[in-house]
Amino acid sequence: MDQESAPSSLDLDRETGLTVRWQDGAESFYPLAYLRRMSPSADMRQLRDDMKTNPLVVVPDTGPASALRAVDAQLVGHYAIRITFSDGHRTGIFSWDYLRSIDPGKTAPENETT
């Protein structure tokens, strides 16, 4: 990862989501429920892979999307952010490159399972 792919600013609204302003001037907004579902943690990657091949896979209930909150967030080095969600999930480390690849403002994510 080069310094140009790092965000210029981060704004986490604990009720709604994460806004990232990128060095190139682009801005991305990630709703909390989307970040939770797209967590790069090993368990969530496996669940997304299983869902692609088995339509009967049950997605864990995190409660209503409106009840999901971010209770904490920490920067991880100079390359990522870790968000702790109100349902207890905290194992996903969202690298800047991964956040760019799952930008919900794009018509199709480049790679949802990275």
Q: What's phi and psi for 86, nearest 5 deg? A: -65, -15
109 vs 35, residue with greater confidence? 35
Region of residue 31 (left: phi > 0; alpha: psi -120 to 50; beta: else): beta
Residue 65 has pLDDT above 90, yes or no: no
pTM for the model? 0.79
First-residue to last-residue Cα distance in the chain: 15
Mean pLDDT of 17-33: 96
83 vs 3, residue with greater confidence? 83
Residue 107 has pLDDT above 90, yes or no: no
Domains of the chain: 3-55+65-101 (3.30.2020.30)
- The lowest-confidence range among 24-28, 49-53, 83-87, 100-104 is 49-53
pLDDT at residue 20, as a whole number: 97
